[in-house]
Amino acid sequence: MVPPPTTSRAWTSRRHGAEVGWAALIVWITTAAGGLVLGGQWWRHGGTRQSSGIRPTRLATHVLLAVIGLSLWLAFLLADVSLLGVLAMVLLGGVIAVGVSMLLIWLRGRSGREATELPAETAFPLPLVLLHGVLGLTTLALGLLALLGT
């Protein structure tokens, strides 16, 4: 008699990958919540009116890529279609790239050497900025692990 498929190594690996995938979703949503707080502060401090610093187009690109990626990741988890997960991770890479560019702008504004026109991004609390970035990178790492099934 053949043992049930639940005892095979492939099933164990896939199951662990699924758990990691759901963990990535939770971290991604948590990251988005922090981003909403940062975006709200940027908005309240005149970010939409500034001509230098973090511009609305850059922030909108960051948010749009993140929302589409998050949606694709959820679809990947529900439908188990690997292509959706891969696309979500590619978009998350873009989100991180735009996020790093905003981090550099934020650091430049905080240094005092080259302040932005309006202090929108200088209102961001350092711990929240760092947490948002670390959670974004953690999401990427968990997502890649989930796709690899480990």
CA 34 from chain centre, in angstroms, equals 10
pLDDT digits (tens, 9 = 90+) for 85-136: 999 999 999 999 999 999 999 888 776 555 545 568 888 999 999 999 999 9
- Residues in Cβ contact with 39 at an 8 Å cutoff, skipping those fewer than 6 apart: 59, 63
Structure pTM? 0.84
pLDDT digits (tens, 9 = 90+) for 134-150: 999 999 999 999 999 85
pLDDT digits (tens, 9 = 90+) for 59-93: 999 999 999 999 999 999 999 999 999 999 999 99
